[in-house]
Structure 1
Amino acid sequence: MDVLRRNRVTVTGRDDGPVVMLAHGFGCDQNLWRLVAPELEKRFRVVLFDHVGAGRSDASAWSPERYSSLDGYAEDVIEICRALGLGPVTFVGHSVSSMIGVLAANQEPGLFDRLILLTPSPSYIDDGDYRGGFSAQDIDELLESLDSNYLGWSAVMAPVIMGNPDRPELGDELTNSFCRTDPEIARVFARATFLSDNRADLAKVTVPTFIAQSARDSIAPREVGDFVHAQIPGSELVTLDATGHCPQLSAPEETTEAIIAFVQGP
């Protein structure tokens, strides 16, 4: 299979720049990066792609067996990196893709120069002293609602995920993105996203890692970013003055500046 066609990979920007790969979260596609990518393209080689089942990826490549866990998505990322042959990449993962990047980098660290985890969460469910932001019952109800009425669930949840109620166009955009996703694929990906527990994987990360969290995020509260920072050796953490779980849309300039600063290094 043509991996680059499967994931609708596009490569833009400077041929001689560091390689930055942008990975979108649940219910989205590479268009989510449109406010960030143009500025990055001035400095870096930018790789965009759609997870299988999202955007304009090859939906025929999707299977519930491969994509019922984040490992299948991580394997895709590794295959894309190998197919491009561009050298070590800085992987920027938004939301669930942050943990996909962690899994990929732990499996093949030589393919990755750096990791940037944007609004990450290794586990959404509260557990003892760990605060993921949701109870197990919350997640069960969320998934049951998604199963019974995906379009209705999208209309309710997308604005919550986006935040910024004073900018309803952002919530509308995310709602529309969710609604373009095949409901069966969304159900499987949602379970892989919200039921995964990748806390034990964080300490295994060996590549330089930068964590960017939103100051106000109802999906990944700041305690989660603090936890990720504490678990990944030598990682850096910044709190963006942003509201919502998608700062690349709600605060694109600050998000872009944070990415550039970490890629270029001291």
Structure 2
Amino acid sequence: MDIRLRNNVTVAGPAGAPVVVLAHGFGCDQNMWRLVAPALTDRYRVVLFDYVGSGRSDLSAWSQERYSSLDGYAQDVAEVCEALDLQRAVFVGHSVSAMIGVLAARAVPERIGALVMVAPSPCYIDDDGYRGGFSAQDIDELLASLESNYLGWSSVMAPVIMGNPERPELGQELTNSFCATDPDIARVFARTTFLSDSRDELKDVSVPTLVLECAQDVIAPREVGAYVHAAVPSSRLVTLDATGHCPQLSAPDATTRAILEFLETRT
């Protein structure tokens, strides 16, 4: 199978330039980066892709067995990097993709040389001494609602996740993205995402890492950003003046600027 077709890989920017891989989160696709990617392609080779089951990927390649854990998505990343023969790329992961990037960097360390975690969360459920933002009951109810009526759940939850109620077009865009995902695939990805716990993986991150959090984010509150920063050796934490869980759409200039400042320290 051609991995580039399977994952709808697109590449832009000067050949031979340092490589940046942009990875989307749950219910989304590479189009979520459209306001950030063009500013990177002047100096960097930018790789965009869709996880199997998302966007314009080859849905026939999806299996519940593989994608019922974050390792399946990390395998997608590793295979895209290998298909393009990437060396020491900077992996920019939004939301759950931040943790997928951690797993991929461990699996193919020669392929990924730095991480940018955008609105990351290693665990969404509160635990002793840890605030993930949700109780176990919250997550159970969220998943039950999603599984019983995915389109209805999307129309209610997407604007909440996006934030910025004064800009309803942003919530509508995320709603449309969620609704474009096959409901059966979305249910599996949602359970994989919201029940994941990658906290133990953070201490083993050995590459330079930028943690980007939003000033207000109902999915990944600032306590989560502080936790990730404290847990990842040699990481840098930047708080964006942004509201919601998708700053690449709600605050693309600030998001781009923070990524570029980090990239400039790597080149």
TM-score, normalising length from structure 2?
Answer: 0.99
Gaps of 5+ in 2: none
Cα distance, 1:106 vs. partner?
1.6
Q: What is the one-letter code of the residue matched to 1:93? A: G
Deviations 1:80-115 (A, max 9, x none): 101101322100000000000001112222211110
Indicate the residue corresponding to 1:205 in structure 2: 205
In structure 2, the residue corresponding to 1:128 is in which secondary structure?
coil
| Distance in 2 of aligned mates of 1:65 and 1:141 | 24
Indicate the residue corresponding to 2:129 in structure 1: 129
Of 83-92 and 145-154, the range deviating more from structure 2: 83-92
- Matches for 1:186-225 after TM superposition, within 5 Å: 186-225=186-225
In structure 1, the residue corresponding to 2:4 is in which secondary structure?
helix
Q: How many residues align?
A: 266
Q: Which runs of 4+ in 1 moved over 4 A?
A: none
| Distance in 2 of aligned mates of 1:53 and 1:108 | 22
Indicate the residue corresponding to 2:34 in structure 1: 34
The answer to whether the aligner puts 1:159 opposite 2:163 as a matched pair is no
| Distance in 1 of aligned mates of 2:226 and 2:43 | 30
Cα distance, 1:170 vs. partner?
0.1
Q: What is the one-letter code of the residue matched to 2:142? A: L
- Matches for 1:31-180 after TM superposition, within 5 Å: 31-180=31-180
Deviations 1:190-248 (A, max 9, x none): 00000000000000111111100000001000000000000000100000000000000
What's the Cα RMSD here? Answer: 0.7
Retained in 1: the 8 A contact 2:162–2:171? yes
In structure 1, the residue corresponding to 2:241 is in which secondary structure?
strand
Q: What is the one-letter code of the residue matched to 2:128? A: G
In structure 2, the residue corresponding to 1:64 is in which secondary structure?
coil
Of 80-89 and 225-234, the range deviating more from structure 2: 80-89
Retained in 1: the 8 A contact 2:12–2:46? yes
| Distance in 1 of aligned mates of 2:16 and 2:74 | 26
| Distance in 1 of aligned mates of 2:262 and 2:17 | 14
Retained in 1: the 8 A contact 2:86–2:111? no
| Distance in 2 of aligned mates of 1:241 and 1:43 | 25
Q: What is the one-letter code of the residue matched to 1:235? A: S
| Distance in 2 of aligned mates of 1:52 and 1:257 | 29
- Matches for 1:4-19 after TM superposition, within 5 Å: 4-19=4-19
Cα distance, 1:16 vs. partner?
2.9
In structure 2, the residue corresponding to 1:237 is in which secondary structure?
strand
Deviations 1:50-94 (A, max 9, x none): 011110000000000000000000011011101101322100000
Retained in 2: the 8 A contact 1:109–1:206? no
